[in-house]
Amino acid sequence: MNPAILAWTSLAFGVPALLVYFGVLATRPRIARMVNGSGLFLNGLGLVEVFFWLRQTSSPAPFNAVLAVAALCLAALAQSVVVLRNSRSWDGVERRTTSPDGPARR
């Protein structure tokens, strides 16, 4: 695969991943969101770094590099969807139903 295509693909997924991370961090500044979103931040940062590394090479990218970039792109996409879901942070109130005798056994 052409390294330029792979580099631009990594940048196309990395920059939005970082923007989503900082956007969610700015709008919902909870420590749980920050810790859960750190994977998104690190994936986005890694994809941006891949862009700079691949721009310096002219040889075709090996299959391992293509596979790694594809996996990081899919991970960044999945983590962006999870972070952007409209789910509330845990507020300390237990809402699961339990029996008065304790947890149910299966």
| Residue 90 located in a structural domain | no
32 within a domain of the structure (yes/no):
yes
Question: Is residue 52 one of the residues assigned to a domain?
Answer: yes
Establish if 20 belongs to a structural domain: yes
Evaluate whether residue 93 is within a structural domain: no
Examine residue 13 and state whether it is found in any structural domain, yes or no: yes
State the pTM of this model.
0.71
63 burial type by CB count under 10 A (0-12 exposed, 13-18 middle, 19+ buried): exposed
Residue spans of alpha helices (H) in 1-106: 3-27, 31-36, 38-54, 63-84
In a domain, residue 77? The reply is: yes
Tally the domains of the chain. 1
d(CA 39, CA 13): 14
Q: Among all chains, which residue has been given the structure tokens 């998104």?
A: 40
Q: At 66, is the secondary structure helix, strand, or coil?
A: helix
Is 104 inside any structural domain?
Answer: no
Mean of the per-residue pLDDT values of the chain: 80
Range of the domain at 55: 3-84
Residue 20: count other Cβ atoms within 10 Å of its Cβ: 21
Highest mean pLDDT pick, 5-9, 27-31, 89-93 = 5-9
